Every structure is written in C-alpha cells, then in structure tokens.
Chains A and B, each alone.
Chain A
Amino acid sequence: MRRGMIKIETKAFIQAKFSEYYKKNVSIQPPSSIEKREFGFLLLKERIMLRHKSFKTAEELRNSLKRLVPSNVYYSSAYYERPEEKMEEKGWLGADLVFDIDADHIPTPCAKKHDTWTCTSCKTTGNGTRPEKCPTCNEQKFEEKAWPCEVCLGSAKEEIIKLIDILTKDFGLSAKEMSLGFSGHRGYHLHVESKEISMLDSICRKEIVDYIVGMGLEPQLHGLSGIDGPNLDDYGWKGRLARGTYEYLLTTTPEQLEKIGLRKRNIQDLSEHKERILKSWKYKGPWAMVKGVSLEGWSKIAEQAVKKQAAKIDTVVTTDTHRLIRLTNTLHGKTGLKKTETPITAIEDFDPLESAVAFPNGTAIIFVSEAPEFKIGNQFYGPYKNKKVELPMAAALFLLCKGAAEIAEERSNVR
C-alpha cells in the first residue's frame, strides 16, 4: 500500500501519537552550536519539507517540535553564519564529518527476503531486492517496501565496527570526538566533531571516503611485490591488507578463487597448502611461499582482502558538506522508532530495535494488510496477512507508519 493511501483515521492517530511524544519529551538535546545549524522538518500532515529554520536555544527548538509535530526532524552537519538564509547566502563555516551505513547498500545474509516490490504497471509483487525488469510485463518501475530486521541491522553493525576501527587506529580519532546512533530505521550514523576536520571541503572528504572504502588502493604501494608483502601487525592499510588476505584465504573455496581469475595451478597450490599458508603468518607471510602465485595473482587476492576490510559507508553522505542529519531522540516517520545514541565503546552489545522504542506503554488494535515477521523491543511479531491484531503500542505504530496497517482502536493508553 502506498503511503499516500493511508486512511485519514490512521494518519490522525499517528499524528496524535507523535504529538504526545514531543509534548512529553522535554529532554530532546539540540546539537552543539545550535544557533549555527540549519534545521529541517518534514511535516506529517502536509508532507512537505520545511527548511532553513534556525533556533537560538534548545527551548525554542522543543517548542517548535511540539507545535509542528514533524514526521522527521533534521539538522545540518554544517555550521553557518546565517542558517535561515538561502543556501548561497548562509555563509558556510565548516561541517561535522558524517558517516551513514545503511542496510540498503550492503549485501546481508537475510538477502532482504522481508522486503517487497510491486510493479507499478501490472502490480506483480515479489520478495527481496527488486529485479531489473518486471518478470511479467518487462516494465522497470517498482514501488519498494524495506523492513528493518535484526540480520540486516547486524550486518550494518559489523560495518560500523570496521569503520570505528579505521577511524580510531588510522585516523587517530578519540571516542570523545565521535557519536554513534541508530537511525530508527535501517542504519547507523556516525558523527565526528573536530575543529580541524570541520574545515575540510568536499574534495578532502572524498579522500577520507576513498581511504575507508579502499578506493584506488594499490597493493604494491603497500609493499606487495610477489616475493614479499605486508604483515598482520603492520599499521594502516598495510596491516589491513594482510589481515584481509588471511581472512580471505581462511574462508575461500576453490570455486571462489576461480571466479576472481586465479590460474588452476595456483588454486590447487593454495588449497593443498592451506595449513602451511595460515601458519606462515607467524613469520613472513605466505607471499614467497606458494610457488607460481605471481604478483598478479596476489593482487587479485588483495582486491578481495580490501573488500573484506573496507567499511561500506554511503559515499555521498560523507562528501556532502551541507547534509541534513536526523536529530537524536526524534522520531523516524517510517517506523515510529526514535533515533538512539549509544557510546562507541558499547556498540557490540547495543540492541537497536530494543533501544529505539519510543512508545513503551499502551496497546492498539490494528488491521494489518501484510507484514513479515519483525522485532520491536525484545519481542518478535508476525508475519501477518489481512489480520486484526492487538499489539503493544510501539509495534502497532511501527506497522501503521510503514503503511502496512490501519488503526482499528486504541486501548488502555497511559496518558
């Protein structure tokens, strides 16, 4: 079902719940230097974006949230002299460095089976990532619905952990300079506030991005020569290349080696001497050990090693110096969950779908058209199809915001 087709009662219900949230939550913290930031609100009722807003104090911001009841609240990663002016007259003073890791952009073990697509012309539907062409009518336009799932978010978390490792060890950033949050839907945001970094332009940020994703990386410039190569404990990408190679050779199959274009002889040697190769890392690594694997062969393996070690960030977000970012503790219009911060050091044990619950009280009876199994809080629900159910408020609101259900009745709500 399309968002625009949500019934008026459901819309009004979502609006009332969001309003209740912003009335209760007087603790929403503004970003640093609030007076230099631009704010943007997507309005629930009118579905339009209000931009170029600015506030002097947290109080002003909170009052606006109460009054406007936006479905999404954003602030600029940039600092401006005059945030309320048009873009070209704002006076850019710098911008935080922002990273976005979204399950949409990374391959996940769940293969996104929970996501659905519908062909806009013949209404054929299917699960998973949408096809290039509709199998029924060959058209190429689809409507898609993506669901956050534990597995997807687990993959995104793995990428965030890699990113934190690179930023800490290679870029020398401290936990104090970084803040990390779950977006309330399908990904994580990592925000870096540092005076030196804030002045970097988009070209410089692109260099940071290329480093993190391993773009343009030449293994030979990191010491790979065909008879020698990097060690596991080397600094920077050197060490990452070695660790990636180790990991790749440990888990790869002869079929995969063939796929990346290695010669038959090499594949045989690498498979036969697997044990010896893995042991060789204690000394000088396997670079000179496997006879016949040329520099070209090792380069192909190194390419796979880079893929393993790189963090899959959204390259556009990080290079954009005027980006709007969701404000922490505000609601996500697609889920009714809140953007939640977690300390960098606590990421391993962070449970996004549990921490992001914004409506812990009450229940609602809803009519669900279709929903896969999903998790909210510490409980799993569904799958449902054309079913009337009574759910805890957070789960009910999640389906309503997703456009997968209509409101039937609200119950025992604690106001």
Chain B
Amino acid sequence: MEIPSFPIAIMMVASTADSRIKRTYALAEAKRVSRLLKQEDKETIMKIAENFKWKLRLIPPQHNLLNYHFALDFTDYIKNAAIMQDKKWKLSNRLLSKGEVFLTKVEVCRLLEEEVRRYIEQKLQVKVKSLSPSMTNHINRLKQIFYEKRGKTSWEDIPSEVIIVAYPPCIKKLHETISSGRHISHIGRFTLTTFLINIGMSTENVVDLFRSFADFNERMTRYQVEHLAGLKGSRTKYISPKCDTLRTHGVCLGMDDICRRVRHPLAYYRKKLITLKTEAPVASGHD
C-alpha cells in the first residue's frame, strides 16, 4: 500500500496550501526514510544517492581518514548541509580535498534525509485544482487538527511601536552609523532597512534615516525601501539576513547574552522585548 499512498498524501498536503503543514509533512517523511536508510548497507546507499544524481564515491579504509567511508562532491554536500545548525556540518569544519567532502555512513544518511526533504517540499509546490467535496472536507479536518496541535504563530506579537532599546547590537550600530551620516555598506543598509520594516517602522521613517547622506536621493531611496517592504516590484517583503550571514559579511559585532540564544536579529528583538516587559517600563518610539 505504501507506493500508491505516497502520491495521494502528496496531493492532500499540497492542497492545504499551508507552508507549515507542507514543511512538517516533508520533514516527517524524510525522517522516516533516514531511519530506514541507516539499516541499509553502503552499496544500497550508493544506489539511492545515484538516484538523486549525487557524485558519491566509496573509499577504501585509510589510516589517515578516520572512519570515513564516503567522499561526496562538495556541491552536493553544501546543497544539503548548508542549512544544518551543528558546527560539524559547516564546510569549513569538514575535510575537503580535491572537491570532495569526506563522510561517515551516518552522515551520508543524514544528508540524504535532507535531500529527500527538499525533494518532497518541491513536489508539494504544485497547485492542486478542484478536489471532490468529500476529499476537501477530509483535508479541512486535517488542517483543523494541525492548527489545534501547533497553534498559529507568527511575528504578530511584535508591538506596533518601535522599541530602540530592544535592537540587537548589530542593528544598534548600523542605526548609529547611519544617523550620523557615516557610510555603511550595501549589506548593512539592506540589513537595517529590512529589520526596521519587519518590526513595523513606517517606510516614511525608514526613508528619513537616509536623509543625512551626501548622495541622498529621495525618489530612489523611497522606491528601494518600498521595494524591500513588498510594496513595489516583486511584491515580496524581504526579511533581514540571519545572524550567520551577518557574521560572514562582518556586520555582526560579536555577541551579547541574547545573541548567543538566537539565530536571527528579529528573534533577538522579540526576546529582548519580553525581558524588557518583565523588567521595567520601556523608553519607546522613533523620532
């Protein structure tokens, strides 16, 4: 029954048109595959990897290569490892030689799990046209159950006014720099603008921040800010880059206590707001 049930499950999940349900489903399927994979021998793993067009190679045991049994092309590696949080998956912490990353069997299984997850998520991108009423009812009931269990969370608990004291250190620095009219890098401008838009600052106030620049062009700045806010062009509202990316580009200043517990400047802001609420009345507003 497993094989025909898979396309039906895909169709049902896709028709919920809910990205969280899709993600949850893809992850669950991938985890199941991963569990099964771990019991397979190396040759079977090779075949499955081949199926995903991985350039994977079995390597003979060598004394200087520890427990590594596989070598994987670095492009296949980073496609699947780039989103993993543990430091050991970072390419800069891997043994990389002549374009190949050396891996244990367990690690290959974990990477395949990610490949499967991405594969299923991509399958779930299809738009399902009309379904029979009974099917639709069924799907709605499943949706209901999902929401009851998980609740509906989003950035909604961010207050409408802008609380400067809750800015993370990187944003604070960017804000100070820009306010004094000093030059900031393109990535710095992007980070600051998207951060402010996402915590609810009006585009008007964001545009004002750039006024002190010698080369300020109101029309241009307004267009760019509105573009990032999703009001122009592609209509996508941009989110500020995550901490990891800010570190790469030298925007991160080093970490304070809250930084160590979050991976995104917006998460910092939310966390800090909570601690501020419990501590004392807050100085607020943006002039």
Contact = CB atoms under 8 A, between A and B. Distances in A.
Interface of A: 86-88, 120, 140-141, 169-173, 196-197, 199-200, 203-204, 206-211, 213-218, 221-222, 234-238, 315-316, 319
B248 A235 contact: no
Interface string B263-286: 000000000000000000000000
Nearest to B187: A316
B79 A211 contact: no
Given A200-B79, A208-B91, A315 B249 contact: yes
B92 A216 contact: yes
Contact of A221 (B75, B93, B248): B93
Interface of B: 64, 73-75, 78-79, 81-83, 87-88, 90-100, 180-182, 185-187, 214, 233-234, 244-245, 247-250
Contacts of B88: 221
Given A169-B98, A207-B92, A235-B97, 19 more contacts: A140-B181, A170-B96, A170-B98, A170-B99, A173-B99, A200-B79, A204-B82, A211-B92, A215-B247, A215-B248, A216-B92, A216-B247, A217-B92, A221-B93, A234-B64, A236-B96, A236-B97, A238-B95, A316-B249
Contact of B91 (A196, A199, A207): A207
Q: Enumerate the 8 nearest inter-chain pairs by beta-carbon distance, A residue then B residue, closest first.
A: A172-B99, A235-B97, A88-B234, A172-B98, A221-B93, A217-B92, A207-B78, A204-B78
A211 B232 CA distance: 36
Contacts of B99: 170-173
A217 B82 contact: no
B214 to A, nearest CB: 6
Nearest to B247: A215
Contacts of B95: 235-238
A303 to B, nearest CB: 13
26 contacts: A87-B233, A141-B182, A141-B214, A169-B97, A170-B98, A196-B73, A196-B75, A204-B78, A206-B248, A207-B78, A207-B81, A209-B248, A210-B90, A211-B91, A211-B92, A215-B247, A216-B247, A217-B90, A221-B88, A221-B93, A236-B95, A237-B92, A238-B95, A316-B187, A319-B248, A319-B249
Contacts of B187: 316
Contacts of B245: 206, 319
A141 B92 contact: no
Contacts of B248: 206, 209-210, 213, 215, 315, 319
A208 B78 contact: yes
Contacts of B64: 234
Contacts of A209: 248
Nearest to B182: A140
Chain B contact residues: over half helix, strand or loop, or mixed?
mixed
Contact of A316 (B93, B100, B185): B185
A142 to B, nearest CB: 9
Contacts of B233: 86-88
Contacts of B87: 216, 218, 221
Given A141-B181, A315-B248, A215 B92 contact: yes
A216 B100 CA distance: 20
A172 B100 contact: yes
B75 A200 contact: yes
A217 B92 CA distance: 5
B194 to A, nearest CB: 15
A316 B95 CA distance: 25
Given A140-B181, A207-B82, A215-B247, A197 B97 contact: no
B92 A214 contact: yes
A215 B87 CA distance: 11
Contacts of A236: 94-97
Contacts of A86: 233
Nearest to A310: B92
Nearest to B99: A172
A196 B54 CA distance: 11
A235 B19 CA distance: 42
B79 A204 contact: yes
Contacts of A216: 87, 90, 92-93, 244, 247
A316 B91 CA distance: 18
Contacts of B91: 207-208, 210-211
B68 to A, nearest CB: 11
A255 to B, nearest CB: 24
Contacts of B93: 216-218, 221-222, 237
A206 B83 CA distance: 11
A206 B249 CA distance: 9
Contacts of B83: 203
Contacts of B82: 203-204, 206-207
Contacts of B100: 172
Contact of A170 (B97, B185, B244): B97
Nearest to B80: A204
Nearest to A219: B93
A196 B253 CA distance: 34
Contacts of A215: 92, 247-248
A165 to B, nearest CB: 13
Nearest to A105: B250
A207 B90 contact: yes
Nearest to A195: B75
A218 B88 CA distance: 9
Contacts of A203: 82-83
